[in-house]
Structure 1
Amino acid sequence: MTFLVFIGSERQSTPPHPPRLGERVARACAVRLEANDADFEFVDPLAINLPSPFKPHFSYAGGRAPQELEELAGKIASAQGYVMVSPEYNHSMSPALAHLLNHFGSSLFSYKPSAIVTYSAGQWGGARAAVNMRTYLAELGCLPVSAMVHVPKAQEVFGESGNYLEETETERWDGYIDRTMQQLLWWAEAAARQRAHGTAEIPAAFTKAPSQRNAPGY
């Protein structure tokens, strides 16, 4: 099973120090996915040239979306689940992550699970952003699992490769992250099995206009 690990940060300047803590947190989650026999691929907003001005993938007629947008759409559609890594901005998710995800409709994410991972350079670990992310990801159709990962003072926990700076903390942090990753794997396996062998018809997912969700007559 392959999962996409979204790095919700574009900042490479200080503060905080060291910069771009999200990359460290994402690497730590990827290590735990591998430890649980899952494959992964990073989605890094710094490596993707998004359209400017903003134009979502589903707005291009006849499959004429920019190549990078088209390739990422294919990866989202084929993945079994998602790990969303985000810092907190104004009690909300990262604008870099939201901007990236807003290019795609829920038809690509639907009926697959997601995991919420937040972090901070301070004491709260991005927990307030996670509350916002639950409703956001539910709207995308990739319902988040109940367990979440929150990392306060991430610069004191992880090194550049996602390693633990204090080896004595390895068992404690592995167990904490695994609780979320193992839930993600369980739901991803269940969802994949249902998509492949389920007898119930899967309703069409939201693709373009919000009016598709309107009540009859409105």
Structure 2
Amino acid sequence: MAFTYLTFLGSTRDSTPPRPARLGLRVARACMRLMQERAQADLIDALEWPLAQPFKPHFSYAQGKAPDDLEALAAKIQSADGYVMVSPEYNHSMSPALANLLNHFGSSLFSWKPSLIVTYSAGQWGGTRAAVAMRPFLSELGCLPVSAMVHVPEAHTVFDENGDYLDGIDGVRWNGYFRRGLNQLAWWAEAAASQRKRMGTGTSPFTRDPSQRNAP
């Protein structure tokens, strides 16, 4: 069985600081490089998905009536087996660009699949506080994060613009660090796919509005 993963890059900033610009793209490309060793992986760059404003989520449209970009991204999310969420840190939390992108879609598209949290920064903390805040957010979407996380401090000193290691970087050590999380993601993705095939999900999808979560 072939597995498909989406890497979400949760930053739309294309300016400095930080220097260099689009620092997260380096981290996302590194994730893609390692993921593509074992499975199909697609990059969802928030900068390339400028969804319409004012905010109106995919599930609030009549079936098949959402804008084309929402429909296309919803199909990608639904068909994927797992997700890598790449985010910088804003005020001890995840990127607002990532939250905005994900909030356009109901949990039914993500549920019963795993996710991996990857954070980065130009400074010394590597986005670790954002990662803590991302756990309940992703759990609410249903794509529960695996226990391993990846944090990349001073990412501009680790990766070049293609996501390859800069000279002098211990690539073997970094690969091992990334693969720990990616191995967990792959393990849970395979287990979840098998269980979905065997038993289904056992719940009705949220297709109308968030009130469907409410108690009777």
Q: 1:21-61: per-residue Cα shift (whole Å, max 9, x none)?
A: 110000101111122x1110000112123111111011111
- Is contact 1:33-1:39 (8 Å) kept? yes
Report runs of 4+ in structure 1 exceeding 4 Å deviation.
Answer: none
SS of 2:123's equivalent in the other structure is coil
SS of 1:83's equivalent in the other structure is strand
Task: For residue 167 of structure 1, report the CA deviation from its aligned partner.
Answer: 4.7
Task: For residue 205 of structure 1, report the CA deviation from its aligned partner.
Answer: 4.1
Alignment partners' CA distance in 2, 1:52 and 1:73: 17
SS of 1:85's equivalent in the other structure is strand
Alignment partners' CA distance in 2, 1:208 and 1:90: 32
Q: Kindly report which structure 2 residues correspond to 1:35-184, keeping only aligned pairs within 5 A, or say none.
A: 35=37, 37-184=38-185
Identity in percent:
65
- Is contact 1:8-1:94 (8 Å) kept? yes
Task: For residue 18 of structure 1, report the CA deviation from its aligned partner.
Answer: 0.3
Task: For residue 173 of structure 1, report the CA deviation from its aligned partner.
Answer: 0.1
Unaligned runs of at least 5 residues, structure 1 = none
| Residues 122 and 148 of structure 1, relative CA distance in 2, 3 Å threshold | same
Q: 1:94-136: per-residue Cα shift (whole Å, max 9, x none)?
A: 0111111110000100000000000000000000000110000
1:27 maps to: 29
Backbone CA RMSD of aligned residues = 1.3
TM-score scaled by structure 1?
Answer: 0.94
Alignment partners' CA distance in 2, 1:173 and 1:186: 20
2:15 maps to: 13
- Is contact 1:33-1:181 (8 Å) kept? yes
Task: For residue 175 of structure 1, report the CA deviation from its aligned partner.
Answer: 0.1
TM-score scaled by structure 2?
Answer: 0.95
Alignment partners' CA distance in 2, 1:113 and 1:85: 14
Task: For residue 215 of structure 1, report the CA deviation from its aligned partner.
Answer: 3.0
Alignment partners' CA distance in 1, 2:106 and 2:201: 20
Q: Read off the aligned partner of 1:122 and give its amino acid letter.
A: G
2:194 maps to: 193
Q: How many residues align?
A: 214
Unaligned runs of at least 5 residues, structure 2 = none
Task: For residue 201 of structure 1, report the CA deviation from its aligned partner.
Answer: 5.5
- Is contact 2:114-2:188 (8 Å) kept? yes
Q: Read off the aligned partner of 1:210 and give its amino acid letter.
A: P
- Is contact 1:106-1:207 (8 Å) kept? no
